[in-house]
Structure formats: C-alpha cells, structure tokens
Structure 1
Amino acid sequence: MEIMVRATKDRLDPERVFPKHDSSQIATVKINTYNQHIEEVRKWYRNEHMNYDIIKVEKSKWWVWNEAVELAKKSVCTIQTYLERVADGKAASVYDLCITPSEFNARLGDFSHYCPVRLADGELVNCGVSPSLLYAVEFRGFYYKCAGEKERDMFLAEAEKYVPPLAPRRLPPADLLPKRITAEEAKSLFPMPLEIKGYCPVTFLDGKLRYEAIIPGNMEIGCVLYRNKLYAFESEDKLLKFLR
C-alpha cells in the first residue's frame, strides 16, 4: 500500500521532470512480483549471508535514504576494523562480514563449534546449535565460536592462550562428546534403555545421592547420548549442565 501511495503521488507531481514510466499498472506488477519472491529472497540472505536488514518506509524518502547510508557506513567500519586487526596479527570478530555457513565450516579451528574460552575452563559449550555468527571470531586464518559477549571479548584480547599450542585443554574425540537428541530420536533408539532407570543424573549428583534427589527425567525436553548411553533430565538447565 505504501509503495502504491508514493508512486501515485510521485507520478502526479506537477514538478516532476523524469519520464512517467511508472503507471499504476506497472506499480501493480512490481508489487505483485515483490510479494511473490520476497520471502524466498529474504530467507536466502538470512541463511547464507545473515545480512538482511529491514528499514521502515513510513517516514520520508530522505529518512529512508539516511538509514540506508548509515547501514552502509556501519558495514564499511566493520570491514575496516576486521582488516586492521588481522593485519596486526590479532583475533577479529567476523560478525556481519557476510560469511556463509559453508565458508565458516570449511575454516573451523581445532574446537569445531565449541567455545575455546569455556573449554579452557573445563566446560563443553557447543555453539553450533545456533547459526548466528554474533560471537564468532577469526584468528590465524581459522574461525572459532564463542559462547557469549564476555567469552568473545576475552578471546579477542588474548587469543593465543585459547588455541594450540598454549590452550590448556583440547576437544575430546568425537565419540566422547555428549550429543543432544530430540525425544523422537531417543525413542527411535529403542530398545536402548535410559541410564539409571530414567532418573536425572544431574539432580541425583547435585543432591549428594540422597533419596529425595531421585527425580525422573523428562524425555520430552530431549535426551543426551553419551558414550553410547542414553540419559534423561529433570529440566532444560540440568540437561545443559550435563552437556557442559
């Protein structure tokens, strides 16, 4: 509707000097084409380059222009900061650099999608559950994912201490990593039984193995497959604690 209103006003402007090639019929065709393909285009940019921004058009065209210019400036500053840090041999954020998922995975560092900062503290935090590169970084030509803003800033400040050869811990072999699975996936593993008769191991351990800490796990929130054994948990927090 906004496009049609603006096109009509522009076409009827007595001071207009440009050719009148945008009749109501042409505007209708353009709008229909936009509506037909925009979701596919939007999805592609969000999934591949994660750089799709929305600018509200209810205000003046000059306001829209200024917003677009600011987005472009921000993008240029992001690229410049990245290039300067890499040239200086420092770690750099790669957020908003239009890196595709396939490109990112092709240059993963030693820790796959696990956070190197949390791993240094003895925790396994898999950042691959989200495609976002908000806390992703590059160092010495390799990509790493951090668990949050704090971990990202720590990595950017002292990247050398979190990667080999100085990294205090290495990622366990793939067959020793816990894997979260859905309730449907867990049921498909039948007749594999739930360990400790389906009770939550985290609640039991945190409760110092007391009788009142024997709480059934809830398979509907998902399970964890670890060393070919299946575990269920009382809550999402307990499941995530087990994964860590």
Structure 2
Amino acid sequence: MHNSSKILHIRNSCYTQEIDHIRQHFQQHYQNWILLDGLKSKWWIGNRIVKEFSISMKYISNYELQCRLGEFGHYCPVCLALHHHLVDCSDIAALTHAAEYREHYYKMCGEDHLERFLTTPDHFVSPGCARTLPQPHLLPRKRTENQVKNRFPQQVEMKGFCPVTYLDGKKRYEALVRGKMEYAVEYRERIYIFETKQKQDKFLRIPEAYWDQKLPTKVPPLCEPIPLTSLPTLGYLEQGVSISVIKAMTAVGCLKPKYPFLSIQRSSLLYVAFYLKAFNNKSTDYTRKLYKKKLASFEENCALIPYLSSTMRGSYRSPSERPINLEFKLNRFLALGDSPVTNIAL
C-alpha cells in the first residue's frame, strides 16, 4: 500500500537525505526556492503561490526587456522621430506601452505613440528613422543633491541660474531665477539646476536648446541669509519681535488700561508685558496659560475704576439699595492700594 507506514518511512528518509541538495541546486541555478507554511489553509497557500509567481514573472520580464531593448533603450522612438525630444520612459515600470518588433523591445511614452509605432514601425527604427539616439555620454541624466555635492569642487553652470527660465524669458534680467539643488541634471559633464521639476523635465527633453548659454555681465546678487543678530537694534526688533509687539500695542490701545493706584504709563507697560508673555509661541503651554490668567485678572482689576465711578455716583444709598457685588469690588479695589506692585509682579 502506498500509504503504509513502511512506504511513508522510506519517503520521509529519502526526503531528509536529499532535501538539502535539492534546495541548494534550485537556489544556485534558478533562485526560485521559496518556503511556504504547510499548516496554513489551501487558500492562503494558493494566494501566496500566485503572489510569488507574479513577482518572479515580473523579474523575468524586466530581465528580458533589458536584454532585448532596441537601439533607443528606454527612450520613446516616436518622440525622438517626430519632435526630436528625449523622453525617458525608464521610470515607468509597467510594460503597457511597450512593443516588440524584430525581436527587440521599444518603450513608448503613451497610448497614442504606441498606436503610431504599431501602425508604421519602420518609420521609427533603423534604418527608416532619420534621427538616432545620441551617444550615452551625450544623454542628460538626473542627479540628486548628494551627487551634486560629491562633485565638489565642480560648480553648477550659469552660476546656479535656471537655464530654462532664462531662455524662455527671452534672456531678460527678470528671467534670471536661481535653481534648486533638488532639480539637478548632468549634461556633457556639466551640472545644471532648475527652478521647478517641470523645467527640469523640459531640459531633459531638449537639452541642446538650453545647455550652451552665456550670462549677462550684470546678474542678481546672491540671496545669502543674513544672521538676525548681525542687524542693528531697530532692524533686529523689526525682524524678530515686530509682529508680537504690534499686536500687543494694538491690544493696549483698544483697552486703554488704568490699573488702580498706578499711573497710566505703568499700567500700559504692565499690560504689554503680560500680553507678550501670554501669547509667546516659544513658551510652554503651562507658561502661556499662567500668564493668560494673569492678563485676565489684570483686565478685571482695571475695570474696577470705571465700575466704581459709575456705581457710586450720586447721593448716599443704604446697603440694601446698593448692587450686590459693590461691596466685594470696593474691598478688592482698596486691597490693591496696599501693595499693587506685589499683586501684579511678573
């Protein structure tokens, strides 16, 4: 019987003896040895097999594509023939717009160009194509910021100004806009940086139109950052705390505080101090809440003077005819006269 204990023992012994050699063979020659948990359900195992198979087929198709790419590589032959544009399709992983012709693969940038290639392929490949792909050292390449820094002491061309913005702006002085390191391109062993990604892509398409330009004698100065501490006192206050001070001055102008037993000038200064501390974004939440409470208490004490002056006006009234909170606010007002500075100390 095939499922007898003797047969199963023989099979298990053979498996134990040969599994290491089989695993090594498939791993070295095919790189397709994958372990699956046999205790899982059949649906889980089936889905995992489909997933691994899809990944493997993707690697195989990409490898086959690289080995059988035509003379244009990853560049769209239709764009090159019709518009003389270098459109790199290497960033597109899918082969939706790829075509096979004469045992070579060609990648197109879109559906319309794919249809055009399939209709008349001889017009876009050698020898029917009138334009060929430039040599590899004449192709523009994107470069990262770190790659640009590693080329030091080599400097970027055009003193860092964007060549596309300058030429499209008819070489006017206003069109001299500095590029950004994140949009860098190397072309003919020179490095160019661009204002935006759209202008970087435009240079990659037609680098011959932008690469060889000369700057005018007069160019905008470098926008180097100025340390805040190097400014004079008025400039430092204007750049550092002007917005906060303006808000505080606006608030004190609207309120016009007069603290009991203090001058108007000192009342205004104390209010500005409380306001700045209460709305300082660099302080902790606890500190801001603390001074917002002090600011609210300061405003309440300032409101005692107009309240008492309006309530106590006229002839004498008995305690039963007075407002309920008059006695409390009067005592609070008199208490502030004993030690006003202590009660409102910062």
TM-score by length of 2: 0.45
Which amino acid is the alignment partner of residue 171 of structure 2? L
How many Å apart are 1:108 and its aligned residue? 0.9
> In the comparison of the two structures, how many residue pairs are matched?
167
- Among 20, 29, 49, which residue is 2:57 paired with? 49
How many Å apart are 1:31 and its aligned residue? 5.5
Distance 1:183 1:32, change over 3 A: farther
Higher alpha-carbon Rg:
2
How many Å apart are 1:41 and its aligned residue? 7.3
Distance 1:156 1:99, change over 3 A: farther
Aligned residue in 1 for 2:153: 191
Aligned residue in 2 for 1:170: 132
- Alpha-carbon distance between aligned partners in 2 of 1:43 and 1:217, rounded to the nearest angstrom: 44
2:189 corresponds to 1:228: yes
How many Å apart are 1:187 and its aligned residue? 1.8
Aligned residue in 2 for 1:110: 71
How many Å apart are 1:137 and its aligned residue? 0.4
- Alpha-carbon distance between aligned partners in 1 of 2:112 and 2:64, rounded to the nearest angstrom: 25
- Alpha-carbon distance between aligned partners in 2 of 1:43 and 1:113, rounded to the nearest angstrom: 27
Which amino acid is the alignment partner of residue 150 of structure 1? D
Which amino acid is the alignment partner of residue 157 of structure 1? T
- Alpha-carbon distance between aligned partners in 2 of 1:146 and 1:194, rounded to the nearest angstrom: 32
- Alpha-carbon distance between aligned partners in 2 of 1:227 and 1:233, rounded to the nearest angstrom: 16
Deviation track 1:79-105 (CA, whole Å, cap 9, x = no partner) reads: xxxxxxxxxxxxxxxxxxx96111111
Distance 1:160 1:28, change over 3 A: closer
What's the C-alpha RMSD, in Å, of the aligned pairs? 2.7
- Alpha-carbon distance between aligned partners in 1 of 2:63 and 2:111, rounded to the nearest angstrom: 24
| Structure whose residues are more often helix by fraction | 2
- Alpha-carbon distance between aligned partners in 1 of 2:72 and 2:92, rounded to the nearest angstrom: 16
Aligned residue in 2 for 1:119: 80
Aligned residue in 1 for 2:257: none
Which amino acid is the alignment partner of residue 49 of structure 1? M
- Alpha-carbon distance between aligned partners in 2 of 1:43 and 1:242, rounded to the nearest angstrom: 40
2:167 corresponds to 1:157: no
> Runs of at least 4 residues of structure 1 off by over 3 A?
31-35, 40-44
Deviation track 1:41-72 (CA, whole Å, cap 9, x = no partner) reads: 747724x534xxxxxxxxxxxxxxxxxxxxxx
Match of 2:148, SS state, is: helix
Deviation track 1:153-191 (CA, whole Å, cap 9, x = no partner) reads: 110111110001110200000111111122222222222
How many Å apart are 1:32 and its aligned residue? 11
Q: Percentage identity across aligned positions?
A: 42
- Alpha-carbon distance between aligned partners in 1 of 2:192 and 2:186, rounded to the nearest angstrom: 7
- Among 40, 63, 86, which residue is 1:30 paired with? 40
Greater relative contact order (Cα < 8 A, sep 6+): 1
Distance 1:99 1:143, change over 3 A: farther
How many Å apart are 1:193 and its aligned residue? 0.6
- Alpha-carbon distance between aligned partners in 2 of 1:227 and 1:164, rounded to the nearest angstrom: 25
- Alpha-carbon distance between aligned partners in 1 of 2:76 and 2:126, rounded to the nearest angstrom: 14
- Alpha-carbon distance between aligned partners in 1 of 2:162 and 2:141, rounded to the nearest angstrom: 16
Aligned residue in 1 for 2:97: 135
- Alpha-carbon distance between aligned partners in 2 of 1:110 and 1:191, rounded to the nearest angstrom: 35
Gaps of 5+ in 1: 1-26, 51-97
Aligned residue in 1 for 2:235: none
- Alpha-carbon distance between aligned partners in 1 of 2:151 and 2:42, rounded to the nearest angstrom: 48
TM-score by length of 1: 0.62
Distance 1:168 1:187, change over 3 A: same
- Alpha-carbon distance between aligned partners in 2 of 1:33 and 1:161, rounded to the nearest angstrom: 50
